Amino acid sequence: MEQFNVSAFLFINQYAGKNKMLDIILITAVDVMPYLFVMALIYLWFRSSIERKQASLNAVVAVVLGMLTSNIISRFYYNPRPFVENLGVQLIEHAPDSSFPSDHATFTFSIAVTLLFNKATRVLGTTLFVLSFISSMSRVYGGIHYPLDILGAIFVALFASTLVLILNKKLLLGVLSKKVA
C-alpha cells in the first residue's frame, strides 16, 4: 500500500514547478477553497429555508467531529509528509507534522458530504465535493500530502457526516415520540 501511495504521489507531483500558471491556479485553489466552503455555509444559513439552515448547521457539526477525529488519528499515527522524506517538489509551505489524514480535506469533505446527504442541498453538496477533490489533489500536487491522506480524510468526513445524520434522526424520533405520547 505504501508503494502505491508513493507512486501515486510522484505521478501527480511530477508536474509541480513545471508550469507557472498551473502552479498558481492549484495553489490558489488550496488557499481559497476553505473560505469558499465557509461562505457557502453562511449563505445557506442566512438566505435559505429551514431545511437548508439545518443542513448548514449539520455541516458545521460534521466539521467539528471530523476535525476532532482527524486530530486524534494524527496524534496516534504519524505519517511523514512527502517533503520530510525528500520526495517530489514542494510548492506549498507546511509544518512537518503528520500528513494523515489531511485536515484540509477533512474540513472540505465534511461539508460537502453532509450537504450531499440532504436532498435540499444535494446539488451544492455535489459541486462542493468536486471542488474539495480538486483542492485536495492540489495539496498532493503541491507536495504536502499523499493521495491516501486525502482518501483517509474522505473516510473521516463520511464517518463524521454519517454520525451527524444518525444523531439527527435519533433526536427527531425522540421529539416525535414525545409529541405522539
Q: How far apart are CA 119 and CA 115, in angstroms?
A: 8
Mean pLDDT of the chain: 92
Distances (CA, A) of 71 to 11, 18, 56, 62, 107: 28, 34, 22, 14, 12
Contact 78, 85 (CB under 8 A): no
Per-residue pLDDT tens over the stretch 45-87 = 998 788 899 999 999 999 999 999 999 999 999 999 999 999 9
Q: Where are the alpha helices (DSSP H) in 1-146?
A: 2-13, 20-47, 50-76, 103-117, 122-141
Residue 102 DSSP class: -
What percent of the chain has pLDDT above 90? 87
Residue 112 has pLDDT above 60, yes or no: yes
What's the CATH number for 2-180? 1.20.144
Q: Which pLDDT does position 174 carry in this prediction?
A: 55
